[in-house]
Amino acid sequence: MAILEILKYPDPRLKKVALPVRDFSAKTVQLVSDMLDTMYAAPGVGLAAPQVGVSQRVVVLDTDHENPGKQVLKLINPVITHAEGEVIWEEGCLSVVEFTADVKRAAQVQVKAFDEHEREIKIEADGLLAVALQHEIDHLDGKLFIDRISRLKRELYTRKRIKSLRNGDEPSHEPARVMI
């Protein structure tokens, strides 16, 4: 069990496009396992490899936080193949501390990916799972949910975050809530 460090905004590595996984190896399996441990410890419902400083297209998800481990998704090289509808969802992020915002997303998505054993997976999702898939795939493309909100809200958050970093302020330890 390894808990990895989760990068926090404005770390520039969060803005880089992740590279496709070409070699499905024991290192990939270990990365997936470590990412799951990290996600559960955070606590979160999703985590993308760039959030832990690894430039690979790997995502882990478990949107059933009432029953951890029952609906785990381990996705390598995920691609949204179809999206439709529209939903506004309040999102937070393990890499964007102390901030949530309403984000417009597709209401339903279809995703194609591979598991850590190179087997193809197809997912049809709506609700939290659809939002979480889009959120995590955005991370693979170097996007954060704050890139999808108004410029004014994003700039206000950025200024507040940079000021707190300059002052050496740590994020408050508010009651644990599950983040995407």
Instruction: Check pLDDT > 80 for residue 172.
Output: no
Predicted pLDDT at 175: 42
Give Cα 22 to chain centroid, integer Å.
21
- Residue 178: pLDDT band (50, 70, 90) is low
Instruction: Check pLDDT > 60 for residue 52.
Output: yes
- Tell me the two tokens of residue 9: 């905004």
Instruction: Check pLDDT > 50 for residue 174.
Output: no
The residue-averaged pLDDT of 65-88 equals 94
**What confidence tens digit (pLDDT) does each residue in 103-147 have?**
999 999 999 999 999 999 999 999 999 999 999 999 999 999 999
Q: Taking the domains of the chain in order of start, what are their residue ranges?
A: 12-166
Q: Which of 136, 155, 170, 174 is catalytic?
A: 136
H or E segment at 27? Answer: helix 26-41
- Tell me the two tokens of residue 22: 């070409």
Looking at the domain 12-166, which fold is it? Peptide Deformylase (3.90.45)
Instruction: Judge if pTM exceeds 0.85.
Output: yes
Please say if 174 is a catalytic residue. no
The residue-averaged pLDDT of 25-37 equals 97
Predicted pLDDT at 116: 93
Taking the alpha carbons at both ends of the chain, their separation in whole angstroms is 21
Predicted pLDDT at 68: 86
In the chain, the amino acid numbered 61 is L
